[in-house]
Amino acid sequence: MDTPEQPQIYLITPPTISLSTFPDQLGRVLDSADIACIRLALAGNDEDTIARAADACREAAHARDVAIVISNHVLLAQRLGLDGVHLDDAARSIRAARKELGADAIVGSFCGASSHDGMSAGEAGADYVAFGPVGASALGDGTIAEKDLFQWWSEMIEVPVVAEGGLTTDLIRELAPHTDFFGIGDEIWSQDDPVAALKTLTDAM
């Protein structure tokens, strides 16, 4: 049996970022590892704040040929020249987002711990689905996405899958054979040295 390729890193920004320090920090992390995609997971709805943060992060990402998507703000994704959108409502907004952003945009969907929502999202045209949390995390409603879900998904479904929320080195080792991406965010940004924290996690893959 072929060993699956090593999962890739899907980097998630903190909900609030400091424009004076975060873009440099992001750049260092991007330079330290092979990152597949970045999600701007910014809290709040203040378009100015989000736009400024998105511009700074987009520059860091696109300078390194890394795709960048934004959580839920479909119209901002378009206006700010981002690569797509990450939706938090399973399959409900995928078709509308796709229509708005076009065939080339990345449209991903968070589906909690529900294989049914994941399949609906895939049928609606999601480019990937994210399940989580996989560990202790306030993501979604807190229902843990178990290893069995990822195992079943990777065997049965073609749509790429992201494991996120409360990742630890043990969980990464356990899930690596069954997931395409690890959504890593707070796991590194809450540490003094995000680059070192990321290396500890990627070494577990």
Query: What is the mean pLDDT, run by run of 10 residues, along the chain of 205 residues?
Result: 73 96 97 97 93 96 97 95 96 96 98 97 98 92 95 97 97 97 97 97 95
pLDDT attached to residue 140:
87
Question: Residue 70: inside a domain, yes or no?
Answer: yes
pLDDT attached to residue 31:
98
Closest CA to 5 of 149, 154, 177, 162: 177
Question: Residue 3: inside a domain, yes or no?
Answer: no
| Structural domain of 117 | 8-203
Question: Residue 2: inside a domain, yes or no?
Answer: no
CATH number of the CATH domain containing 154: 3.20.20.70
Question: Residue 174: inside a domain, yes or no?
Answer: yes
Question: Residue 30: inside a domain, yes or no?
Answer: yes
pLDDT attached to residue 142:
87
Number of domains the chain is built from: 1
pLDDT attached to residue 2:
45
pLDDT attached to residue 1:
37
Question: Residue 123: inside a domain, yes or no?
Answer: yes
Helix or strand run (H / E) with residue 128: strand 128-131
pLDDT attached to residue 188:
98
C-alpha of 199 from chain center: 18
